[in-house]
């Protein structure tokens, strides 16, 4: 079975008269985490009302749809997945009826032993409606149920391996849970006395909620008529917070894992300039939006002017959204265009957060070069992305990851830049956590996977050029 890699955002609210509208807004602020489908389940205490559809939050929830999603509690989801698995069937939340009544679930992350678990469940007569690992989680909760949903969620945690930050809704409870490694973020807060949970603090900011705290790794939080209960269901393991949330994925105005993403990104740029300065740089320009914060930090240490030398069209989404390479190539041009007067005759440093397949950087260097700069240097505020992520960030297979088969010199040639400089793994950790590894997962850069997966364990290290 094809394993899905979901990049997603989740949201939940318990005990608010405008649950659907609040969830709509909460999801809107998480749109960057997934643009393929959006969905919501609400409850007025008896039924679960579901609406999910392919598309962006603004298109999925019309006024009419929202007015039909009645209730005082809700969960919501935005989803992005790799090509081939885009279908409404895999959209979330997913809803079912089981021994304990009605239940819905919305999941961010990726379960690494999902195939194994699904195989076992199928042999025992379970039937599945989708190829999503999240449906496996719902089956595990149902299987572990005796008389209490939080206990069943804890039972699920005994079986599922990997990354899950998720929310579940029954007619009388909202349950939020984070895996024992805490791969993906999940925060909780309050709005007019209601409990709210979201992947990122931007959601809480938008609805005017106060941010209370992160949900801890291994913790289950239950909101019901009886109030809020916290259960440390599993002991927290050595944390494996996703470093890529800080590098690229989260919105810069979010506080992620207790730190402002913007500040961390700027520090990544500063560290990059310390490690990979460009002699005689006249101008530092970011690849908007992903490279902006790092480029500001880079320019500061490089002591060179920062300017918006590339202008972005705001009517194009993330370049990755196009499943086909052909369209992706064109997508870069559709999205970005240089300001000729700024780059002409100058030594230009272009800063971006990462190189994945190499499409974006090659096209950008080409575009800037066409405006007659003196030189184009490329600087990347993360190390070479060499390994696929199995914990919920969409990365292509190893073959498609340019840095897994090419050396930095070869990639430099391919991009046609005068020089290319990546941040070191050590420098990245220093920028993110002050020193050492600091409890972050860096598997996409190092191949050191903190939780085993059948397909990547042990990682194949041979065949890679240095």
Q: State the residues that interact with ligand AMP by CB under 6 A.
A: 248, 287, 290, 318-320, 352-361, 393-395
Alpha-carbon radius of gyration of the chain: 22
**Buried/exposed 97-120: b ≥16 CB within 10 Å, e otherwise:** ebeeebbbbbbbbbbbbbbebbee
Distance of closest approach, residue 368 Cβ to ligand AMP, in angstroms: 14
Neighbours of 80 (CB within 10 A): 23
Query: What are phi and psi for residue 26, nearest 5 degrees?
Result: -60, -40
Report the alpha-carbon distance of residue 60 to residue 64 in Å, rounded. 11
Q: How far is the CB of 431 from ligand AMP (least distance, A)?
A: 17
**CB of 283: closest distance to ligand AMP in angstroms?**
19
Backbone angles phi, psi at 370, to 5 degrees: -65, -15
Helix axes 359-369, 408-415, angle to 10 degrees: 50
SS3 at position 28:
helix
Residue 32: CB minimum distance to ligand AMP, A = 9
Task: Compute the least distance from the CB of residue 318 to ligand AMP, in Å.
Answer: 5
Kindly tell me which of 202 and 360 has the beta carbon lying closer to ligand AMP. Answer: 360
The CA-atom distances, in angstroms, between 424 and each of 274, 279, 351, 384, 446 are: 11, 19, 15, 9, 11
In this complex, which beta carbon is closest to ligand AMP, that of residue 23 or of residue 82?
Answer: 82
Q: Is 50 left (phi over 0), alpha (psi -120 to 50) or beta?
A: beta
CB 132 within 8 A of CB 90: yes
Q: Is 96 considered catalytic here?
A: no
Q: Between residues 49 and 446, which has the closer beta carbon with respect to ligand AMP?
A: 446
Task: Select which of 8, 242, 389, 441 is catalytic.
Answer: 8
DSSP state of 173: E
Q: How far apart are CA 136 and CA 115, in angstroms?
A: 9
Give 209 or 292: the residue with its C-beta nearer to ligand AMP. 292
* Closest to 9 (Cα-Cα) out of 191, 190, 150, 198: 198
Alpha helix (H) ranges present in 259-369?
261-275, 292-302, 325-335, 340-343, 359-369
Nearer to ligand AMP, 186 or 287 (CB): 287
Nearer to ligand AMP, 14 or 249 (CB): 249
**Closest to ligand AMP by CB, 6 or 205:** 6
Q: How far is the CB of 411 from ligand AMP (least distance, A)?
A: 10
To ligand AMP, the closest distance from the beta carbon of 114 in angstroms equals 20
In the numeric block, the tokens 């990546």 are attached to 422
Active-site positions read: 8
């Amino acid at each position: 079975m094809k394993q899905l890699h979901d990049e997603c955002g989740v949201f939940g609210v318990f005990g608010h008269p405008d649950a659907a509208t609040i969830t709509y807004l909460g999801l809107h602020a998480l749109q960057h985490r997934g643009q393929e489908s959006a969905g919501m389940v609400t409850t007025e205490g008896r039924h679960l009302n579901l609406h999910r559809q392919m598309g962006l939050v603004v298109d999925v929830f019309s006024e009419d749809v929202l007015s039909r999603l009645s209730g005082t509690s809700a969960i919501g989801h935005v989803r992005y997945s790799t090509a081939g698995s885009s279908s409404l069937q895999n959209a979330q939340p997913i809803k079912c009826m089981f021994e304990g009544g009605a239940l819905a679930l919305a999941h961010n992350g990726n379960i690494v032993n999902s195939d194994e678990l699904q195989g076992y469940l199928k042999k025992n007569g379970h039937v599945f409606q989708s190829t999503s690992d999240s449906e496996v989680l719902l089956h595990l909760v149902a299987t572990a149920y005796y008389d209490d949903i939080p206990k069943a969620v804890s039972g699920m945690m005994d079986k599922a391996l990997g990354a899950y930050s998720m929310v579940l809704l029954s007619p009388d409870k909202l349950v939020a849970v984070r895996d024992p490694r805490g791969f993906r973020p999940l925060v909780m807060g309050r709005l007019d006395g209601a409990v709210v949970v979201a992947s990122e603090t931007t959601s809480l900011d938008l609805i005017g909620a106060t941010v209370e705290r992160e949900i801890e790794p291994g913790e289950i939080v239950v909101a019901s008529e009886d109030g809020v209960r916290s259960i440390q269901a599993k002991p927290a393991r050595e944390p494996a917070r996703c470093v890529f949330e800080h590098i690229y994925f989260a919105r810069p105005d979010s506080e992620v894992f207790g730190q402002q993403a913007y500040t961390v990104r700027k520090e990544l740029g500063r560290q990059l300039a310390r490690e990979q300065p460009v002699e005689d740089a006249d101008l530092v320009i970011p690849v908007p939006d992903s490279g902006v914060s790092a480029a500001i930090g880079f320019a500061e240490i490089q002591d060179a002017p920062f300017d918006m030398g590339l202008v972005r069209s705001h009517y194009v989404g993330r370049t990755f959204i196009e499943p086909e390479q052909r369209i992706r190539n064109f997508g870069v041009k559709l999205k970005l265009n240089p300001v000729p007067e700024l780059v002409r005759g100058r030594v230009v440093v272009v800063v971006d957060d990462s190189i994945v397949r190499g499409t974006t950087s090659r096209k950008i260097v080409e575009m800037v070069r066409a405006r007659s700069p003196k030189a184009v240097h490329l600087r990347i505020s993360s190390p070479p992305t060499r390994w696929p992520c199995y914990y919920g960030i969409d990365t292509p297979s190893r073959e498609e990851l340019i840095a897994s088969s090419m050396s930095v010199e070869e990639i430099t040639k391919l991009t046609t830049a005068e020089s290319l400089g990546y941040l070191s793994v050590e420098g990245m950790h220093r920028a993110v956590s002050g020193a050492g590894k600091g409890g972050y997962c860096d598997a996409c850069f190092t191949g050191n996977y903190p939780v085993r997966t059948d397909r990547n364990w042990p990682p194949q290290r041979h065949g890679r050029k240095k």
